[in-house]
């Protein structure tokens, strides 16, 4: 299994099914910036179908609804329809998630946690989404509230290193040094402003990062 984040501007996701799972997937996709084409005969009764970024199609499934899709999510209560959706999407080389039998599709929806530019995902390959969510919570509980500021500082330092240090191996050593967890621990006691000042002062004073 290859873990990836799917980043594509103006991407189109097609969701088939308007039950609780379908509604949840649409909410996730809209929040992630996708345009959503939502297909189900009962969509007129679903409030989320009235969102601006959602094209609601109150109809039974038809393969033509997958036209130009970047991602397909099958979440119906019909095993036959699920099989048809997955088969059609795979035939069209479209990423597809089978929310009923996850191993039938080509992609999975993991449990996710985000703050600023930091995104953490956890999956059990469909075995237990509830456990994945619990494990994710255990992994992210206690992280500094300014974590996103720390990552933004690392991005700033990366740009600075590209202009100051022509040697790529040395740049990598610097980035490994600045990314050490001890610096993240200092964030809580010193604050992001002090951490930024110390990092740039160290970069100005040394040709190479300290050993270790």
**Angle between helix 181-190 and 147-164 (nearest 10):** 120
Q: Is residue 39 part of a domain?
A: yes
Looking at the domain assignment, is residue 7 inside a domain?
no
Over residues 68-111, the pLDDT tens digits come to 999 999 999 999 999 999 999 999 999 999 999 999 999 999 99
Residue 6 lies in a domain: no
- pLDDT tens-digit readout, 22-75: 999 999 999 899 999 999 998 876 655 567 789 999 999 999 999 999 999 999
Q: How far is the CA of 189 from the CAs of 15, 131, 148, 186, 193, in angstroms?
A: 46, 33, 16, 5, 11
Tally DSSP H helices, then E strands, for the chain: 7, 7
**Claim to verify: residue 154 and residue 65 sit in the same structural domain:** no
Domain of residue 125, residue span: 110-141
Q: Are residues 17 and 97 in the same domain?
A: yes
Averaged over 145-150, what is the pLDDT? 90
Q: What is the CATH number of the domain that holds 32?
A: 3.40.50.720
The pairing of beta strand 71-74 with beta strand 54-57: unpaired
Both 154 and 171 in a single domain?
yes
Give the pLDDT confidence of 115-145 residue by residue, as tens digits. Answer: 999 999 999 988 898 999 999 999 999 888 8
Each residue of 151-192: pLDDT tens digit?
999 999 999 999 999 999 999 999 999 999 999 888 888 999
Domain count, the chain: 3
Same domain, 127 and 78: no
Residues 52 and 101 in one domain: yes
Residue found by looking up tokens 């040697």 in the block: 167
Closest to 121 (Cα-Cα) out of 5, 1, 13, 2: 5
| 191 in any annotated domain | yes
């Amino acid at each position: 299994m290859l873990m990836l984040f799917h980043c594509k501007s103006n991407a189109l996701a097609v969701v088939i099914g308007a039950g609780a799972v379908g509604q949840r997937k649409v909410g996730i996709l809209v929040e992630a910036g996708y345009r959503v084409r939502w297909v189900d005969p009962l969509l007129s009764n679903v409030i989320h179908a009235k969102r601006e970024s959602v094209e609601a199609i109150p109809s039974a499934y038809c393969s033509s609804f997958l036209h130009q899709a970047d991602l397909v999510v099958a979440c119906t209560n019909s095993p036959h329809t699920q099989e048809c959706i997955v088969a059609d999407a795979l035939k069209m080389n479209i990423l597809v998630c089978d929310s009923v039998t996850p191993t039938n599709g080509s992609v999975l929806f993991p449990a996710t946690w985000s703050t600023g530019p930091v995104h953490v995902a956890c999956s059990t390959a469909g075995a237990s989404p509830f456990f994945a969510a619990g494990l994710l919570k255990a992994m992210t509980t206690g992280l500094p509230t300014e974590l996103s500021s720390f990552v933004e500082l690392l991005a700033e330092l990366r740009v600075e290193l590209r202009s100051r240090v022509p040697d790529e191996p040395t740049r990598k050593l610097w980035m490994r040094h600045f990314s050490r967890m001890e610096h993240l621990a200092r964030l809580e006691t010193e604050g992001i402003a002090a951490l930024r000042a110390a990092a740039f002062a160290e970069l100005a004073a040394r040709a190479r990062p300290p050993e270790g």
